[in-house]
Every structure is written in structure tokens, then in C-alpha cells.
Amino acid sequence: MRFDNATNLATFLTTSHLFSEHIGLNGKKFRKVGPVQYAIHWLYGISEPLILRVVDYLLSKKVMTETPFGKWVLKGIAATSYYFPHGIIATTPAVERLVDFIIEKEGPKGAIIAVGPCVCQRALNQWKEPCKKDMTVLYGADIYHHLNIGYDLISGEQAKERLRECHDAGLVHAIEFCMQSGKWVFVVCNCDTEICVPTRVFFHTGKFLYKGPEIVSNDPLKCMGIEKCGKCLTRCVFGAYQVVDGSIRVKKEKCMGCGLCVSTCAGKARTMIKRQHYPHEHQVPSEILLGKV
């Protein structure tokens, strides 16, 4: 079934999964998602590529990204998009724990995890492997699976394997939710910096991505130095590393908590520790992500 026009919308509203049981997150528990939330999110799902194309067009204009007025407008647009999807950055082990938490909940009549083509790549028709990395969860998996746009239902183990592939490819996991509410958690995006629209907006405005519950910790004595390694400089896409007097320093205030620099650190000088002030407990609790449920 494809939803290309108003007729299909009517079909969806009258005959579809709208009134089936759907599950969403609610803190450390689950909740039933009602037909209103499901329908709103479904509408967002079919509108998303158009929204992304419009934002990509704005980002392609130097007048928007390089002039004070354009930057002001861009920040205004980002601020007024407060209730659109925003993402909490998380490490691979943290998202794997979220997957375990979700999988422990027996699936209702809908899906629990589905993976499909990256929405940004699909919207912009720019493809870069790995492409199939949009990991919808809970009621979001059901919506995107039934949009019939290439989402496959997958097991928890398959989801974790895909997360690790994305990590190895240098992609950043972002647990996305709408309405600034954990009740609207619907996808784990695996973001790059070239095509991903929200990540590029973040670099210009500081909005759309939030720091996760972990932060990097470093042991300078173990660092092998720039000449022998230097991998962390390129691995961190958020610019948390800099070279000072020939050695590598971490600007912890820039660390978003993705963990990408840890797995490739040849000297094992980097680890992830709990962030002291994680401000998104009410959306995705650190107890789920850090394994203390």
C-alpha cells in the first residue's frame, strides 16, 4: 500500500492500523499510543522528505549560512521547530541497551523495530553507504513499516549488529523524539555530517541535537600522540579535539557523548563516563541507556 494522495490518506484513516494497539515509551515504562498521536506522526512521516528538502535548500544558500541576517533567520526557524524531531546523542552500548529494553516488551500487533533507508538520503537522493540505517522503534516502526517505503522488521540482535556497523562507519546515533517528549520517541538515526540535514542544522544553530548521558574521559599518559595515531581528531565530528603545543586536548564542553573516539583510540586513552548533568532524564532516562534498570 502506498500513500501518495488524499485517497490513500482516507484509506489509511478508515481501514489501517490506526486503531490497533501501539506502544510508546513513557520514562522507564511503556504506554499505549492513541490514534491521534499515531495519525499526527503518520502525517509527519509522509511530509518528512519535503521538509528535509526545504531545509537542505536553505542550507545550500550562502546568504542563509554566511550572513548575520541569514544566520538569524536559520536560528529562528530552528527555534520554532522545537516540537519537531530532536535527538539525544548516545553511544552504541547505550542504544543497544535501549534496544534490549524495547525488545523485552512483547510486541503488540504492531512492529517494534524496523530499519529502512536513511530519510535524509532518500529525500535528497544522495546515497552513501551504509544507506539502510533509519532505525524506527516502537510505534514509529509500525508507521514507517506500513508506509511501504522499504522498512524491514528486524530482531533486537539484527538491530544491534546494524548499530555496530554504523558506529564503525563513523556515524553518530541520535535517539529522536517529537514534541520534546519521551512519549514520542520513534527512531534511532545514524547520522553523518555531509548529508544528514538535522546534523548540518545543528552545526549552524546548535539546535536539534542534545548531549547524551555520557561524556568522554581521557588519560593523557596513554595517548600515543598525533604522529603515531591522531585518530580521535578525525573521528570526532563535533570538534571536541584540538592540537595544543603538539599534543591533543579534549574540549569537554563540546563532547556530545557519541563514543566514536573511544573504539578507535589506539592507546585506549579514551573512555566514556556518566555525564554529571544529563538534562533529558524525563525523555530517555539514563537508567535505560546506562544499564541500571
- Residue 223 engages ligand SF4 in binding (rule: CB under 6 A): yes
Give, in degrees to the nearest 5, the angle at Cα 232 between 229 and 237: 145
The only residue of 87, 213, 257, 285 in contact with ligand SF4, by rule CB under 6 A: 257
Give the nearer residue to ligand SF4 in terms of CB position, either 99 or 255.
Answer: 255
130 touches ligand SF4 (CB under 6 A):
no
CA distances from 22 to 30, 33, 150, 260, 263 (A): 10, 5, 20, 33, 36
Task: Give the shortest CB-149-to-ligand SF4 separation in angstroms.
Answer: 30
Q: Which is nearer to ligand SF4, 34 or 239 (CB)?
A: 239
Which one of residues 94, 112, 154, 255 is an interface residue with ligand SF4 (CB under 6 A)?
255
- Residue number with CB closer to ligand SF4 (43 or 224): 224
Q: Which three-class secondary structure state does DSSP give residue 272? A: strand
- Binding residue (CB under 6 A) for ligand SF4 from 158, 181, 267, 274: 267
Q: Which one, 24 or 259, has the nearer CB to ligand SF4? A: 259
Cα separation, 135 vs 145, whole angstroms: 11
Q: Is 174 in the site for ligand SF4 (CB under 6 A)?
A: no
The one-letter amino acid code at 229 reads: C
Distances in whole angstroms, Cα of residue 6 to Cα of each of 3, 145, 210: 8, 19, 36
Nearer to ligand SF4, 185 or 250 (CB): 250
Q: Which of residues 190-219 bind ligand SF4 (CB under 6 A)?
A: 216
Q: Which of 145, 137, 139, 125 is nearest to 162 (CA)?
A: 137
- What residues have CB less than 8 Å from 112, skipping those under 6 apart? 23, 102, 103, 105, 137, 138, 141, 153
Looking at beta carbons only, is 114 or 260 nearer to ligand SF4? Answer: 260
- 255 burial via Cβ count (<10 Å: 0-12, 13-18, 19+): buried
The contact set with ligand SF4 (CB under 6 A) reads 216, 223-224, 229-232, 235-236, 238, 240, 248, 255-261, 265-267, 269-270
